[in-house]
Amino acid sequence: MMRLAPRIAGLCALLLAAMACAAVCVLQMIYVRNARRADALLNDVRSLRVGESPTADVQRIVQKYGGFRGDTQPRPGASTDGCPEPNQSYNVGVGNDALFALGQRFPSLWFAIRPRGAGATFLVKAGKLCWLEYDVSSFFERNEWPLQVQATMLMAGSWVVPYSTFEASGNIHTLLARATSDAPLEDRHKALAFDLSCLKKFDGCRTACELLPSAWLDWQTQGYASPEDMNPPWCEKATAKRLIAQLPSILFQRLRSDRCCLNVPFPGEPGGPHNSPSAQIADQLLELGKSDPAARAYLVAHLPAFIGAGPQAFAWVDAVRLAGDLKIVEAAPALAKFIGIPIGPAYTLGESAHLKDSPAGLALVEIGDPAVPALDAVLEHRNVNDRWEAAYALNLIGSTEAEAVLTKDAPHERDETLRDFIARATAK
């Protein structure tokens, strides 16, 4: 019997370990399932439009997630500006109430049971959605404030403070992001740009920067945050890591959205291309493209198509300049396509020879020898105005390869004046 005691103890320990492992696996499966449901709910919320979506669309989402009709008011303290006296409210929750109750009943299990979940509230008036809120909560310490991040969308014309925060025990435990239905598309996307991956982690979400990184960075950089509200260093690193990956696409979308007219005012004048918002964005993208290989790769993939769509706004001029400054060879065919498009006021003949009125031509010169084949194609197949610009560009590149193309094409040039220019350029 004495010999069996150690074996029985060992088997009991092994059984307890197996049970603990099974419990951990079950908890992790619950967390992953709830995170997926929270993400699906978020996507459904994003599909709604405040002021436009009918009650039926709201009811479909509520039914899908087992929600319910509430009273005609949202949570206490919520601003319903733009939707006073709504006809009806609806609520949806994604989480596990049983786990929360278990953690409250047995505090010793709190190290493993970290309740977390997401929810949405909708207000309806006159048959249309007039207010919505999506929120995520995560309990990381039993006796501490839970982390809560909320995004609220309000009716057009509502007055809102974009961000609000609440702090306790040295941590920002609540972040509120707000936007109106007539806000810029980027601001509306940012308010609902949740990253719910931390809901899958065993210890849940700990800081607002994990859940809403773009809005968190905006809150800090746009003057909404006071110095004492700055997040811990590890959170800043996590935020920076995510935003570095997002920043090129964010800035590029801003660049594309600048639809201001071309030519008036002219480059260099107040409000002109080199003072426009798109010029400032292009400068930021230039710095990123020089310092971050991933940012450069993003621009290589997206700039050529944007340039190839043709000049429609200041942003096109700045995109062309950006392609030249970064020497993006892949953009050369698109640049050559618009080499003959003048931008800005009339220039003297000497200034035109230096491509002052051709941003596409200047960009090709910046790219250098890799742009020579695209310029050769212009000399062979395009109209006389484009051929002049191509000849100017090849002359400014001034390499052996560029001179060889000019020499090759000179006998076939149909315009006598241009043929004389090429002869003088290659005789230097």
Any residues with CB less than 8 A from the CB of 73 and at least 6 apart, and which? 80, 86, 89
Strand 147-154 to 171-180 pairing: parallel
User: What residue ranges define each of the domains in the chain, with the CATH number in brackets?
Assistant: 22-231 (no CATH), 254-426 (1.25.10)
Any residues with CB less than 8 A from the CB of 153 and at least 6 apart, and which? 50, 131, 132, 133, 178, 179, 180, 181, 188, 191, 192
Report pLDDT for 352: 66
> In angstroms, what CA-CA distances link 138 with 34, 70, 145, 167?
12, 23, 9, 15
Is the per-residue pLDDT at 298 higher than 90? no
Lowest-pLDDT choice from 17-26, 196-205, 314-323: 17-26
The number of beta carbons lying within 10 Å of the beta carbon of residue 84 is: 10
Question: In percent, how much of the chain has pLDDT > 70?
Answer: 70
Confidence of residue 272 (pLDDT cuts 50, 70, 90): very low
**DSSP letters for 13-33:** HHHHHHHHHHHHHHHHHHHHH
Confidence of residue 413 (pLDDT cuts 50, 70, 90): confident
Is the per-residue pLDDT at 102 higher than 80? no
Query: In the block, which residue shows the tokens 């809102």?
Result: 160
Total residue length of the chain = 428
Report pLDDT for 48: 92
Rounded to an integer, the average pLDDT of 421-425 is: 83
Report pLDDT for 73: 55
Query: In the block, which residue shows the tokens 């426009």?
Result: 276
**Cβ(99)–Cβ(31) under 8 Å?**
no
Lowest-pLDDT choice from 14-28, 117-131, 344-358: 344-358
Report pLDDT for 83: 82
**Cβ(280)–Cβ(251) under 8 Å?**
no
Q: Which comes out higher in pLDDT, residue 13 or 215?
A: 215
Tens of pLDDT, residue by residue over 129-154, are: 999 999 998 876 655 678 889 999 99
Report pLDDT for 271: 42
The letter for the amino acid at 332 is A
Report pLDDT for 37: 92
Tens of pLDDT, residue by residue over 311-362, are: 766 778 888 889 999 999 999 999 999 888 877 655 566 666 777 778 898 9
